[in-house]
A and B are shown apart, each in its own frame.
Chain A
């Protein structure tokens, strides 16, 4: 199969929906969707000739026959399945999305204070249409400019996702988990879309997790829009644990108001090919973001992370720590772009990317991109790729640990530098347990069929 047929599959599916009158949403949204599919028709899927996809070939996706008319959820996930993927106690709100659709009967929503909303975005289209419309319209223009093909596909096809609107001054005690489960893929493509809005001085802990109960090939193509009002604080976690054959393309777009804080930890442990885009715009003075990320891959897994932090206003701060552990023939890509706009004086930006290489067959491409157009700024970056230090192995052996145990301890230690920064204990513990399951004797084995 070729790129053209994958592109045509999507175009044909969209055309079919239009003919059946099955395009979701009110008229203005159908227009947005039409504009998006037109953009996609113009661009097609990116290739390695596109700078943003230089090191990530979509050949495995293109070679996968997609069945966009495939039914969702042959079978709903069981409570046991959901328990495995739930990170917190029952007191947390947990929204479950199965193959891209919100499932109320599997979800628990704790009441929010008056004015607050938490639920499905499809439902919010009806209950909160003006708010949703304002944000989706605003979100579409940058995507149009950047010519992001997957963003366009998401805009055209999204069926559902989460909608969270936190009123001013509200600090939610309990975290919220958005659990997206792929169950019956068989070539399906789902495009979850979520809208997270924090009004001034509000505070939330949020977990987005993308998991699979299926072994077949499928595509999850996510867009999450986050808007933080003045002084708002979002503690954000994004966990990707897609299936062995799962493709995941996700973008998180964050717009930050004055003195707002966005702290994010992205953990990728599963999926055949995973692309994470994070795009943070520090749009007002005093806005700060901390982006941490870890991926652990083996076999032929491929994880590509692109971050853009846009220091658009003075006195903004960003910190990035991205780490990868790679074994087998896995590939990792990190592209960290930091932009300091003219006049954004007092910017303080730091970025670190480190990769631990456990096998000769691994390939890593790491590229920092600092674009500084202001004076009086502190910007730095560091990158290191390497193997475990022989001195450290010997130190542990000299205390009685055998080589395998020593390597395992050091590899866990490397990864824990990121996981240890997760402040929400149940999330940290859950991720550490998953990491232990993925690392065997300090190696990352190919996932069994």
Chain B
């Protein structure tokens, strides 16, 4: 069965349609890359899947493990195993990173029928995961994302992903603005999540990350539609030719 099934999805912000009929099927065990130029709707797709209230769905449907995803509030999606790594992680003054993560992990565990982690168990888990993403423990007592550099914020997203162990991870331009070391760390974090029962959707502008995480499928989003899909070689082709040759075909699509 498909883990994620998007059919004819239309969405946007008040008065402006951004996604104009997206179709996408993602099976367990697969890694999909969604690529496309700026403004093509990549981030909107990621945010709509996570349930951002600022976007309005005007048509189509999304099934997640057979359930109607669009009817679920954002926290239920998260508890059911969907994770969005934000392109711009939000700063939360006054809330220590560790406190936030503990609240999140226990919310997800409760939903899965698991016992709450106590402080000791949580710290042990956190220590292990922090090593994986190569993060300084000092970050745990600092407020969530506050004063973090761009790279630190992205690592923090990957840390959250590692701790929450989602079934479907959507990474929204997690690779942008990273130096090569941070990019490798992020790629490692993604590859570790890659298992037969999980799926990953990488939203990215560049082919760079795909040198470290090999996608099963590559889709090109343009003008709010998927205009081309292929295997990993499509990413190379985009790198070489740019997006312009595909944007022309988006114009030709029926609205």
Q: Which B residues are CB-close (under 8 A) to A399?
A: 78, 100, 104, 107, 160, 164
Contact of A401 among B75, B83, B93 (CB under 8 A): B75
Residues of A within 8 A of B104 (CB): 396, 399-401
The number of chain A residues with a CB under 8 A from chain B is 25
B76 to chain A, nearest CB (A): 9
Q: Report chain A residues within 8 Å CB of B99.
A: 409
- A397 and B51 in contact (CB under 8 A), knowing A402-B75, A403-B75, A405-B107? yes
Q: Which residues of B sit under 8 angstroms from A416, Cβ to Cβ?
A: 94-95
CB neighbours (8 Å) of B52 from chain A are 394
> Residue-by-residue, is A413-444 near B (CB-CB < 8 Å gives 1, otherwise 0)?
11111001000000000000000000000000
Smallest beta-carbon distance A37→chain B, Å: 46
Is B127 located at the chain interface by the 8 A CB criterion? no
Least Cβ–Cβ distance between A396 and chain B, in angstroms? 7
What 0/1 pattern do residues 301 to 332 of A give for CB contact below 8 A with B? 00000000000000000000000000000000
- Least Cβ–Cβ distance between A390 and chain B, in angstroms: 7
**Residue pair A413, B54 in contact (C-beta under 8 Å):** no
Q: Is the CB of A398 within 8 A of B94?
A: no
A402 to B79 Cα, complex, angstroms: 10
Closest beta carbon of chain A to B24's beta carbon, Å = 20
* CB atoms of A398 and B51 under 8 A apart: yes
A32: chain B residues at CB < 8 Å are none
A-side contacts of B90, CB under 8 Å: 389, 391-392, 394-395
Q: Which of A392, A395, A405 has the most CB of B within 10 A?
A: A395
Question: Which of B51, B74, B90, B164 has the most chain A CB atoms closer than 10 A to its own CB?
Answer: B74
Q: Please indicate the chain A residues that have their CB under 8 angstroms from the CB of B54 in the complex.
A: 390, 394
A412 at the interface (CB under 8 A from B): yes
Shortest C-beta distance, A352 to chain B (Å), equals: 12
Q: Which of B105-128 contact A (CB under 8 A)?
A: 107-108, 111
**Contact pick for B95, options A390, A391, A398, A410, CB 8 Å:** A410
CB distance from A430 to the nearest CB of B (A): 18
Complex contacts, B77 vs chain A, CB 8 Å: 398
B residues in contact with A406, CB < 8 Å: 75
B86 contacts partner chain A, Cβ-Cβ < 8 Å: yes
Q: A390-B53, A390-B54, A405-B107 are in contact. Are A410 and B74 (CB under 8 A)?
A: no
The B70-90 residues at the A interface (CB cut-off 8 A) are 73-75, 77-79, 83-84, 86, 89-90
B74 lies within 8 A of A413 (CB):
no
Query: Chain B residue with minimal CB distance to A391?
Result: B90
Give min CB distance, A233 to chain B, whole Å: 26
Taking a contact as CB atoms closer than 8 A, the residue among A391, A397, A410, A412 that contacts B75 in the complex is: A397
Q: Are B75 and A400 in contact (CB-based, < 8 A)?
A: yes
Closest A residue to B143 by beta carbon equals A413
Smallest CB separation, A445 vs chain B (Å):
21
CB within 8 Å for A395 and B103 given contacts A413-B94, A414-B93, A417-B94: no
- Which residues from A are CB-within-8-Å of B91? 392
B51 partner residues in chain A, CB cutoff 8 A: 394, 397-398
A316 CB, nearest partner CB in chain B, Å: 28
A409 touching B95, Cβ below 8 Å: yes
Whole-angstrom distance between the alpha carbons of A220 and B182 in the complex?
A: 58
Interface residues of B in 9-35 (CB under 8 A from A): none
Taking A392-B90, A394-B52 as known contacts, 4 extra A-B pairs with beta carbons closer than 8 A to each other, sorted by chain A number, are: A398-B84, A402-B75, A409-B100, A420-B94
User: Can you name 11 A-B pairs with beta carbons within 8 Å?
Assistant: A389-B90, A392-B92, A396-B100, A397-B51, A398-B51, A398-B75, A398-B77, A398-B78, A400-B164, A403-B75, A417-B93
List 9 tightest A-B contacts by C-beta distance, closest first: A413-B94, A413-B95, A400-B107, A399-B104, A400-B78, A416-B94, A395-B90, A397-B74, A417-B94
